[in-house]
Amino acid sequence: MEHYLSLLVRSIFIENMALSFFLGMCTFLAVSKKVKTSFGLGVAVIVVLTIAVPVNNLVYNLLLKDGAIVDGVDLT
């Protein structure tokens, strides 16, 4: 039963192609009528990705990778 619940959650929220396409198209259709608003959304996306990608990289390398937390702690 747990397998079926996991499959349901994964198919609805994680691997839902229609939802991911809709989320991408929604912002495109909402602001693409004028060049000024399209440019503003483009700048906002670039700023968010410029901040989010290095932060995600640091979190992964310093906290989530196998042995990452152990490397910084001396237990001797």
Q: What percent of the chain has pLDDT over 90?
A: 12
Residue 76, amino acid: T
Instruction: List the structure tokens of 16.
Output: 């839902």
**Contact present, 41 and 31 (Cβ < 8 Å):** yes
Q: Which pLDDT tens digit goes with each residue over 7-26? A: 888 888 777 777 777 766 66
Q: Domain-by-domain residue ranges, the chain?
A: 1-31, 32-69
**Contact present, 68 and 62 (Cβ < 8 Å):** yes
Output the CA angle 28-9-11, nearest 5 degrees.
Answer: 60
Q: Which of the four pLDDT bands, split at 50, 70 and 90, describes residue 65?
A: confident
